[in-house]
Amino acid sequence: MSFSHLGLSDKVLAAVAATGYTTPTPIQEQAIPHVLARRDVLGIAQTGTGKTAAFVLPMLTMLEKGRARARMPRTLILEPTRELAAQVKENFDKYGVGQKLNVALLIGGVSFGDQDTKLTRGVDVLIATPGRLLDHTERGGLLLTGVELLVIDEADRMLDMGFIPDIERVCKLVPFTRQTLFFTATMPPEISRISEAFLHNPERIEVSKPATTATGVSQFQVPCGREVHEKREILRRLLREAKDLQNAIIFCNRKREVAVVAKSLQKHGFSVGALHGDMDQSARTAALEAFRKGEIPLLVASDVAARGLDIPAVSHVYNFDVPHHPDDYVHRVGRTGRAGRAGTAISIVTSLDNKSIAAIERLIGKSIPRAEGDYSVRSEASDDTDQPREARGREGSRGRSRHGARDGAKEHSKENPREGSRESSRGDRKPRREREPRHAKGGDRNSTPQPHAANETFTPPAPPAASRVPSIGRPEQRRPQREADSEPADHSHLPAFLLRPVRARV
């Protein structure tokens, strides 16, 4: 089957030919004729199947006729994240060459005024995240009563992100008679319910079983202890020892962990970027662009930031954390092995993840084998000396090994000072100043007792025993009680006059 049999316009076919694509993917082949026939479509397809073009190409064909009116977009595409919205816009730019269509992006983090100006000029295709879209409608700058076609993309992601009430509100603002295209990678019961509410007698198209991982992806798990430093060490080894690694996405469950893991890898000499929801838009775009262009081969990311992004040819996916929801596993692994390519997905698994792994294996219908090779962390005092404060979060406090003053001191010298007060309040770390100068004279630093002031306040280094003079008004017992104080002092190097008792003047 070629594109020319699908009913697309000549302009669109020319644009497709210019991209070099010769054969439609299964979702394109099945969905495009129905979209052109103005049918509602329920598309169950993973990212990487070509689903974006499955709605962009017929939309471009249909939009060749007619004109946009001010503040009344003709079509509306809802996306869960700004990156996905921007990606869909890129598809319109790519396939819409030769057409004078107005395509507008309504996403957060971008000036309201500019978006408003665009809406005033009239928009053929409006691509929006739900929040920003509703902001515009509430301000009265946007009317959705002219929408002929509504696309709800990544619906299961919208559900995860709590956008369903917003989508329901949007659906009340668009005409009842519109055409609706609804895409989801998985079909949990809630998505089934809303698809019934939003779609009218839809054509159901399923290009692969819901929640399956692509067959070209080799999946492995690597067992790991619960310590977060062990995970980082295993990750580094996996990265160093990987065969055919061109680029990789490393997934973490929490935004905070994304920043920590990225920083840690950087410190160990890896070229790495980070992508998580708390980064501002320009930083997110810059990281993604650098990764896309191959300037940085590794991207540490959270689910929200990475879901559905079109990053071609990712060779490896690493789950630094096993996702809590099995659906997320499918999405993460879907970043590799796209468009029929081979890929590798490796999950670092602690004993706390056993339930999650079992749920994932149930969902994907196969077990995930252990990776070959010994990835056990060899010593407790790992070489993971870069641990910034944030890293000592959940896992760290759950029974962190006391891996010696050496690791602790080194760790501390590089940590993020902003997190200091929070860390101190946990009572298991000490403020930076207290730890730094102590071992300047060498010796066995591991065996040097660490003074531990219970109140976590700054304790200055004690002066040499012989020069300690009880000062007036300063009770002796307030002197820092250090284990070292009780050791007999060696005074042989001091001049005699310093050893004479001193009487305080009254």
In the list 9, 24, 107, 333, the residue contacting ligand AMP (rule: CB under 6 A) is 24
In the list 6, 9, 12, 25, the residue contacting ligand AMP (rule: CB under 6 A) is 25
Q: Nearer to ligand AMP by C-beta: 210 or 396?
A: 210
DSSP state of 343: E
> Within 10 Å of residue 266's Cβ, how many Cβ atoms?
16
DSSP state of 202: P
Half-sphere exposure of 19 (CA within 13 A, CB side): 20
Q: Nearer to ligand AMP by C-beta: 158 or 371?
A: 158
* CA 370 vs CA 52, 317, 348, 349, 387: distances in Å: 35, 15, 10, 10, 27
- Interacting span for ligand AMP (CB under 6 A) from 41-49, 58-66, 122-130, 275-283: 41-49
Q: Bridge-partner residues for 61, per DSSP? A: none
In the list 89, 338, 389, 429, the residue contacting ligand AMP (rule: CB under 6 A) is 338
Site for ligand AMP in 46-65 (CB under 6 A): 47-53
Count of residues interacting with ligand AMP (CB under 6 A):
16
Rounded-to-integer distance, Cα 501 and Cα 506, Å: 16
Please state the closest distance from residue 94 (CB atom) to ligand AMP, in A: 8
Please state the closest distance from residue 415 (CB atom) to ligand AMP, in A: 39
Give 167's contacts (C-beta < 8 A, 6+ positions apart).
78, 130, 152, 155, 158, 194, 198
Angle (CA) 263-266-270 rounded to 5° is 145
Please state the closest distance from residue 105 (CB atom) to ligand AMP, in A: 17
Please state the closest distance from residue 50 (CB atom) to ligand AMP, in A: 3
- Interacting span for ligand AMP (CB under 6 A) from 43-51, 378-386, 427-435, 480-488: 43-51
- Interacting span for ligand AMP (CB under 6 A) from 21-29, 138-146, 188-196, 369-377: 21-29
Task: State which H helix or E strand residue 84 sits in.
Answer: helix 82-95
Please state the closest distance from residue 119 (CB atom) to ligand AMP, in A: 26
Radius of gyration of the chain (CA): 30
Please state the closest distance from residue 24 (CB atom) to ligand AMP, in A: 5
Q: Nearer to ligand AMP by C-beta: 310 or 361?
A: 310
DSSP state of 73: -
Rounded-to-integer distance, Cα 222 and Cα 235, Å: 10
Q: Are strands 272-275 and 248-251 parallel, antiparallel or unpaired?
A: unpaired
Q: Nearer to ligand AMP by C-beta: 4 or 23?
A: 23
Residues 299-318 as x/- pattern, contact with ligand AMP by CB under 6 A: -----------x-x------
Please state the closest distance from residue 361 (CB atom) to ligand AMP, in A: 25
Please state the closest distance from residue 36 (CB atom) to ligand AMP, in A: 16
Q: Nearer to ligand AMP by C-beta: 156 or 390?
A: 156
DSSP state of 72: B
Q: Nearer to ligand AMP by C-beta: 129 or 356?
A: 129
Q: Nearer to ligand AMP by C-beta: 7 or 420?
A: 7
Q: Nearer to ligand AMP by C-beta: 339 or 352?
A: 339
- Interacting span for ligand AMP (CB under 6 A) from 16-24, 316-324, 378-386, 457-465: 16-24
Nearest to ligand AMP by Cβ — which residue? 52
Q: Nearer to ligand AMP by C-beta: 47 or 302?
A: 47
DSSP string, 461-491: PPPPGGG--PPTT--GGGS---GGGGSPP--
- Interacting span for ligand AMP (CB under 6 A) from 44-52, 162-170, 203-211, 246-254: 44-52
Q: Nearer to ligand AMP by C-beta: 151 or 222?
A: 151
- Interacting span for ligand AMP (CB under 6 A) from 19-27, 34-42, 448-456, 465-473: 19-27
Angle (CA) 107-112-116 rounded to 5° is 100
Residue that has been written with the tokens 């531990």 in this structure: 452
Give 44's contacts (C-beta < 8 A, 6+ positions apart).
183, 184, 185, 186, 187, 204, 205, 206, 207, 210
Rounded-to-integer distance, Cα 168 and Cα 151, Å: 13
Please state the closest distance from residue 154 (CB atom) to ligand AMP, in A: 10
Q: Bridge-partner residues for 126, per DSSP? A: 76, 104
Task: Return the sign of the alpha-carbon dihedral for residues 92, 94, 95, 96.
Answer: positive
21 binds ligand AMP (CB under 6 A): yes
In the list 70, 97, 339, 358, the residue contacting ligand AMP (rule: CB under 6 A) is 339
Q: Nearer to ligand AMP by C-beta: 50 or 343?
A: 50
Please state the closest distance from residue 312 (CB atom) to ligand AMP, in A: 5
Contact 247, 317 (CB under 8 A): no
Q: Can you give the binding site for ligand AMP, defined by CB under 6 A?
A: 21, 23-25, 28, 47-53, 310, 312, 338-339
